Amino acid sequence: MSGTELDYIKEAFNSNWISPLGPNVDAFEKELAETVGVKGAVALSSGTAAIHLALHLLDVGHEDYVICSSLTFAASANPILYQGAKPIFIDSDMESWNMSPQALERAFIDAVELGYLEKIKAVIVVNLYGQSADMDAIIKICSQYGKPIIEDAAESLGATYCTSNNGQLVSKASGTFGEFGIYSFNGNKIITTSGGGMLVSNNLEALDKARFWATQARDKALHYQHSEMGYNYRMSNVLAGIGRGQLKVLDDRVEARRRIFKRYEEALQGIDSIAFMPELSYGKSTRWLTALTFDASILNITVAELCRMLGEHNIEARPVWKPLHLQPLFKGTKYYSHEVNGMSVSDFLFENGVCLPSGSNMSSEQQERVIDTFKRSIQ
C-alpha distance across the termini of the chain, in Å: 37
pLDDT in tens, 55-78: 999 999 999 999 999 999 999 999
Distance of alpha carbon 271 from alpha carbon 264, whole angstroms: 12
The helix (H) or strand (E) run that includes residue 247 is helix 237-247
Q: Is 189 a catalytic residue?
A: yes
CA–CA separation, 104 and 115 (whole Å)? 17
Amino acid at 325: H
List pLDDT tens digits, range 124-150. Answer: 999 999 999 999 999 999 999 999 999
Residue 222: Cβ within 10 Å count: 5
Secondary structure of residue 294 in the 3-state scheme: coil
Residue 142: its pLDDT value, please?
A: 98
Residue pair 286/262 in contact (Cβ under 8 Å)? The answer is: no
Q: Quick one: pLDDT at residue 281?
A: 84
Helix (H) or strand (E) holding 353, with range, is strand 353-356
* One-letter identity of residue 119: K
Residue 242 pLDDT = 92
Give residue limits of the domains in the chain.
5-247, 250-377
Catalytic residue among 189, 209, 248, 331: 189
Provide the CATH topology of domain 250-377. Answer: Aspartate Aminotransferase, domain 1 (3.90.1150)
CATH match for 5-247 among 3.40.50.1100, 3.40.640.10, 3.40.50.720, 3.30.70.380: 3.40.640.10
Q: What is the pLDDT of residue 280?
A: 85
| pLDDT, one tens digit for every residue, the chain (379 residues) | 777 888 888 888 888 777 778 889 999 999 999 999 999 999 999 999 999 999 999 999 999 999 999 999 999 999 999 999 999 999 999 999 999 999 999 999 999 999 999 999 999 999 999 999 999 999 999 999 999 999 999 999 999 999 877 777 889 999 999 999 999 999 899 999 999 999 999 999 999 999 999 998 898 888 898 999 999 999 999 999 999 999 999 999 999 999 999 999 999 988 999 999 999 888 899 999 999 999 999 998 999 999 999 999 999 999 999 999 999 999 999 999 999 888 899 999 999 999 999 999 999 999 999 999 999 999 8
**Strands of the 197-201 sheet, one edge to the other:** 40-44, 197-201, 180-184, 149-152, 120-126, 65-69, 86-90, 334-336
- The residue type at 346: S
Q: How many helices (H) and strands (E) does the chain have?
A: 13, 15
At residue 182, the pLDDT reads 98
